[in-house]
Structure 1
Amino acid sequence: MDFGWNTEQQARYAEVLAGVRAAFPQDRERDEQPFTREDWLGLGKLGVLGASVPERFGGGGLGALDTARVIEAVGEGCSSTGLVFAAAAHQFACARPILEFAEPAVQERLLPGLCSGALIAGNAMTEADAGSDVSRLAVTATPVEGGYVLDGTKSFVSNGPVADVYVTYATTDAKAAHLGLTGFVVDRDAPGVSAGPPFEKTGLLGCPAGTVSFDDCFVPASQVLGAPGLGSTVFQTSMAWERACLFALYLGVQQRLLDACTHHVRRRRQFQRRLSEFQAVSHRLAEMKLRLESGRLLLYRACWELDRDGDGALWAALSKLAVSEGVLESAMDAVRLFGARGYLREEGIEAALRDAVPGTLFSGTSDIQREIIARELGL
């Protein structure tokens, strides 16, 4: 078992980290705004948006583990965690399903733009009454000559207000439970597609999210993902990548927080002593380090399983749970260590806390991950 990184992997991480820091210097006002097309193209140039897509489509051709390291570097180097999340959701919930399940013509038309940043993708699965339980979707797809007609509204669509293309899921057979769902690729300019304004959210402000409605929207049969009735398979495949790789961004956030806190407690003095000399402070940092490294090991294991086509459901659930809960705890610890300054926006600490909260909700809540782990244990 090898716990080291080779020279190429180390160089890639350093290159991405340096490139992100240069392209996206910390700017609290900018971090609080939705990303721009210029930002998106910048990530495309750095190879972030298509790291796991084959080179023939303009991607990096990396496996899950190396892709996760790219996302981790971006999470460490970019203070706009919302932008990093938007990029990861774009790749794992949209580009990957298109790569693995779309017809060749659709792949050729969309993947190069998704990798370069010329196109923005939005994942449209969640509905007002379908969050953790996506087995019965209210959005329907009715078969017609040459394709399907979609009707209904999706909610919490990451990148929804600005996306050029959506990966969405709809009920094609209400009596077939999970076998009655079908995945589709829908162009933003298709008649009947309308995107709502961005939600007012607590965190991940760099990523606009909102509703997307389909009103008598015709989608050609050529834009079905996989085959009719395989929507659950398509979605679970994308979730495997998302749970394994997307949360690497929160490893980067934790590393950024740990570095900031370490620097702060070494410099800050109270009662004629450095904060780092107080056991309560040093132990809090030790716990932050423990959460980071524990989450890293679990996430890398989940990615390793994905690369070898192993049964990674358990490891993905374990890593998602550990990393999402870990970054939330560490962000809270960072606020405590910075004291009142941690509560001020100018430091960026409170933003990390706000950005950490949704990580325990999307891609399956923490309780859903516990349910998956229990199921894998045979309970």
Structure 2
Amino acid sequence: MDFDLTREQRRRGEDLDAAVRERLGDDRPSTPEGHFTRDRWLVAAGLGLTGLCLPVEHGGGGLGALDTALSLEVFGRACPDTGLVFGVAAHLLACAVAVRDFATPGTAAELLPGLADGSVIAANAITEDEAGSDVARLGTKAVADGDGYRLTGVKSFSSNAPLADVFVTYATTDPGAGFLGNTGFVVRRDSPGVEVGPPMVKMGLHGCPAGRLTLADTPVPARDVLGEPGQGGAIFQHSMGWERACLFAIYLGLMDDQLRRCVRHARRRRQFGKRIGEFQAVAHPIAEMRHRLDSARLLLYRACWRMDQGRADTTEVSLAKIAVSEAAVANGITAMQVFGGSGYLAETGIEAQLRDSLPARVFSGTNEVHRTIVARGMGL
């Protein structure tokens, strides 16, 4: 095993870090209304972040899973707006990857250049009020109509939805077939019957607007079907494999920045005539932060490396997702303690990092679901 990064990987990371800090290194949004604008989105796109793993011939970076994760880790460390980072990663991994791998040639050729250069914003629409983890029982229906379908239903918690141009959505085409009864679609925002709700008020990730998507007898032509009818469940799991492995690298970056800030604070802050880092009550929790971060990073890198080798393993992806999300929450709580009262102030950004980390245990499948996947992988 070789744990070192290549010269090209290090150079790419250093260049991206400097560019993100220069162009996106300003303050994070402090209110739910402060979500990203198209101008801010296009700044991230100009750095290649919206097309990291998309084909070069369509304007993407052509990167594999590990290099995509490494870039997103840098983005998560250098950009204080974790909501923007999350929105870009969700656009790329939950949506553009599905278009890349399963769209018809005509739809792929039409959409991928815009998805790569950021002129087209994508949102993933699968979650419903009664179908979160249980995606085999979607309430949204797709009825065959000529050479296409008509979709009716309501999607909730669709990240990027209020600003999205296209939606990668899933609907039931065969109610009696369970997991095999879902089909994936590309839905255009300007299609008849499409209604997008206002941004939801959320606890964190303020930079990424999320909203409801309502489809009322919305026509979708056959060219915008992803894969074959009934493949929706498999397509969703494929894109989720990329999301669960690569997107969580943004939290590695967040934790890396957080750890560095805690170390600096512990070296500078003095109480009782000493630097607070000299007290074990402060030093040991910071050491635990380092332990959790490095352990989670190794699991995520392994999962991505195996994907690049064509040996993707859902158990290892789930282990990485659990480790990163649990570490992000635990480290966020520890950082609050290290900073004390100042960590509770919005101006430090420490409280925002904690709030932004909490949903990581829920989205992309709850950690309880992922523990079930790990257990099944061991034959339980």
Fold-level match, TM-score > 0.5? yes
CA contact (8 A) 1:50 1:91 kept: yes
Instruction: Return the TM-score normalized by structure 2.
Output: 0.99
Question: In the aligned structure 2, how far is the partner of 1:31 from the partner of 1:74?
Answer: 21
Does the aligned pair in 1 maintain the 2:30–2:206 contact within 8 Å? no
1:28 & 1:308 partners in 2: Cα distance? 37
Superposition pairs of residues 156-175 of structure 1, within 5 angstroms: 156-175=157-176
For the structure 1 residues 260 and 248, does the alpha-carbon distance in structure 2 shift closer, same or farther, using more than 3 Å as the test?
same
Q: In the aligned structure 2, how far is the partner of 1:331 from the partner of 1:17?
A: 22
Tell me the secondary structure at the aligned position of residue 62 of structure 2.
coil
Match of 2:140 in 1: 139
- After superposing on structure 2, the runs of 4+ consecutive aligned residues of structure 1 that deviate more than 2 Å are 28-32
Hey, what does 1:80 align to over in structure 2?
81
**Any gaps of 5 or more consecutive residues in structure 2?**
none
> 1:2 maps to what in 2?
2
| Equivalence for 2:36 | 35
CA distance in structure 2 between the aligned counterparts of 1:285 and 1:364, rounded to whole angstroms: 29
Contact 2:158–2:212 (8 Å) recurs in 1: yes
2:234 matched residue in structure 1: 233
1:20 to 2:20 alignment: yes
CA distance, structure 2, for counterparts of residue 241 and residue 42 of structure 1: 23
Distance 1:207 1:46, change over 3 A: same
- Counterpart CA distance in 2 for 1:228 and 1:26 is 45
CA distance in 2, matches of 1:26, 1:371: 40
1:187 and 2:156 matched? no
Aligned twin of 1:176: 177
**Partner of 2:253 in structure 1?**
252
Greater shift after overlay, 32-41 or 102-111? Answer: 32-41
Unaligned runs of 5+ in 1: none
How much does 1:298 deviate? 0.2
Q: 1:209: which partner in 2?
A: 210
% identical aligned pairs: 53
Find the aligned partners of 1:118 and 1:28 in 2 and give their Cα distance.
Answer: 23
- Tell me, in whole angstroms, the C-alpha distance in 2 between the residues paired with 1:356 and 1:28: 14
Taking structure 1 as the reference length, the TM-score comes to 0.99
17-26 or 336-345, larger mean C-alpha shift: 17-26
- Cα gap change, 1:284 to 1:16, in 2 (>3 Å): same
**Equivalent in the alignment of 2:265:** 264
Write the deviation string for residues 229-277 of structure 1: whole angstroms up to 9, x where unpaired.
0000100000100000000000000001001100100000000000110
SS for the counterpart of 2:203 is coil
CA spacing shift, 1:43–1:31, aligned 2, 3 Å = farther
Which stretch of the first structure deviates more once superposed, 305-314 or 290-299? 305-314
**2: CA distance between counterparts of 1:232 and 1:14?**
38
Q: What is the aligned-residue RMSD (CA, Å)?
A: 0.9
1:311 deviates by 3.6
* TM-superposed deviation, 1:309: 1.5
The one-letter amino acid paired with 1:15 is: D
Give the equivalent residue in structure 1 for 2:374: 373
The Cα shift of 1:29 comes to: 4.4
Q: Could you say which residue in structure 2 is the equivalent of 1:94?
A: 95
How many residues align? The count is 379
Partner of 1:219: 220
